[in-house]
Structure 1
């Protein structure tokens, strides 16, 4: 039961902080200047003829 308690405390503190920072990083990456053009180009790839 000691392992469960340690993992639970880790998940409640540092893991939550890490997931929050990762989410903030993804949002900043997605909304950075210039990303609209790259996203539009990537969205058109399946529709292009070879």
Structure 2
């Protein structure tokens, strides 16, 4: 992988997603995903298609 340029990084979908949840950098995003994987994957899926694909029993 290559590090994206500043303009690309600041205008990316992942950056907007992180800002929505108050996540300040990529390392924080990774840590939040490790700490609460259910939240991470549920919110990521919701942002892609508008609904959660996870069915909880």
Q: What is the TM-score normalised by the length of structure 1? A: 0.31
Computing the radius of gyration from Cα coordinates, the structure with the larger value is 1
Query: Going by fraction, where is helix more abundant, 1 or 2?
Result: 1
